[in-house]
Amino acid sequence: MSGPRRSGRVDFARVNEAASRHGMAVLQGLFPRGRLEGREWVFISPFRENALGSCKANITTGKGGDFSRGDRFGDFVGAAAWASGLSQRDAAIRLAESLGVDPFE
């Protein structure tokens, strides 16, 4: 997408569906210090240095978190919001733009 951000209602389901088609790449982009274990991307938290293993996200759904801190997210938009510190709306817009998807209804 190009041009200024539009106002309007964000279609979170559309953004998450698009992200799920590229789940591995999305998670690698959000959390570059990690590795694939089965269907999970296991990564080092962007908020603290730790041993690999307490942070995980499913490559199909995006659901995961930093389990040693108790931080959880339920999908790719949530993962993007958590990693960036943005609101869910702003994270969805940014993620959609990176995937070439219109984030608005």
Residue range 21-79, pLDDT digits in tens = 999 999 999 999 999 999 999 999 988 877 778 999 999 999 999 998 899 999 999 99
Q: Counting beta carbons within 10 angstroms of the beta carbon of residue 57, is it exposed (0 to 12), middle (13 to 18) or buried (19 or more)?
A: buried
Distances (CA, A) of 102 to 1, 47, 65, 84: 7, 30, 26, 20
Which amino acid is located at 3 in the chain?
A: G
CATH superfamily placement of domain 12-99: Zinc finger, CHC2-typedomain (3.90.580.10)
Return the pLDDT at 49: 77
Q: What is the pTM of this model?
A: 0.91
58: Cβ–Cβ under 8 A, 6 or more apart, which residues? 23, 39, 40, 41, 64
Spans of all domains in the chain: 12-99
Predicted confidence band at 6 (pLDDT cuts at 50, 70, 90)? low
